[in-house]
Amino acid sequence: MRFVKHSGSAAGIEAHHERMKENYRSNPDIHTSRSERNIHIITPNARYNREIKSRIVTAKERNPKLVLKSNSVRFVDTLIAASPTYFFGMTDESIKKFFVTALRFFQEKVSEKNIISAVIHMDEKTPHMHLVFVPLTEDDRLSAKDIIGGPAGCRKWQDDFHARMAKTFPDLLRGKPKDLTGREHIPTMVLKEMNNLENPDRKYAMVTELKALREYVKNIPNELKKEIDDCRKRDKFAKTPQREKAR
């Protein structure tokens, strides 16, 4: 289970989740010929951005103190999966049961009314579910921090999630936290490139290059980081005709 917080538009996320493109050159694992097997457990009533805005507007009607800032987390994209081997031999119905069980957990944790979409992708190498929710608290505040928490909160989420899933799927093992394994997160696109390489030396080289890049980023002067952030914000909030100029 992985959370990704978003404060901007949901258009790109929606295009991926709802398979709104004809070609996915950036993701060779997607086989559109199998996309008809994808399963919507919760289908959005409207476009993602409109659904998100509607939830926030409704919450603000109940709580006039709700504040929506430019950097507020408007929605959380959640990826739910297991290792590829776990799903080997499972029927589509059994796979659906796995993710429906996961959905029930989220409906209890973040409230059913805050979930705008839950779709199972069966057209990639490993079945997985994308679940998008608006981080509204019970007292109608927009706060991903209160709902998800920091590193300790995320670990508790993982523990609670596994405990719930293991009741129905007792052979499901809890993944080990990275602070115990010492492993580093590898960006999805880098991982896919590595998996497509047959040369193990090149795979090791890519990991080494990634670590070196991370160290370089850590040592960027604060003044330059601020300048980079300002450029990103100008690009992010610029209207379409102005984006090239902002870049």
DSSP assignment of 17-37: HTT--S--TT-TT--GGGGGG
Q: How many CA atoms lie within 13 A of 241 on its CB side?
A: 0
Residue ranges per domain, the chain? 2-178, 184-247
Give the distance from CA 230 to its chain's centroid.
25
The 10s digit of each residue's pLDDT in 120-148 is 988 777 889 999 999 999 999 999 999 99
- Looking at the DSSP bridge assignments, the partners of residue 77 are 4, 132
Q: Which CATH class is domain 2-178?
A: alpha beta
Structure tokens at 44: 């959005």
Three-state SS at 140:
coil
User: Hey, is 123 helix, strand or coil?
Assistant: coil
Instruction: Look at strands 39-42 and 2-6 and give their pairing.
Output: unpaired
pLDDT at 165: 92
Query: Among 41, 120, 126, 38, which residue's Cα sits nearest to residue 87?
Result: 126
Average pLDDT value for the chain? 81
> pLDDT band at 30, cuts 50/70/90?
low
pLDDT over 70 at 24, yes or no = no
Q: What are phi and psi of 168, to 5 degrees?
A: -100, -30
The structure's pTM equals 0.70
| DSSP calls for 19-84 | T--S--TT-TT--GGGGGG-EEEE--SS-HHHHHHHHHHHHHHH-TT----TTS--EEEEEEE--G
pLDDT tens column, 59-102: 999 999 998 888 899 999 999 998 888 888 889 899 999 999 99
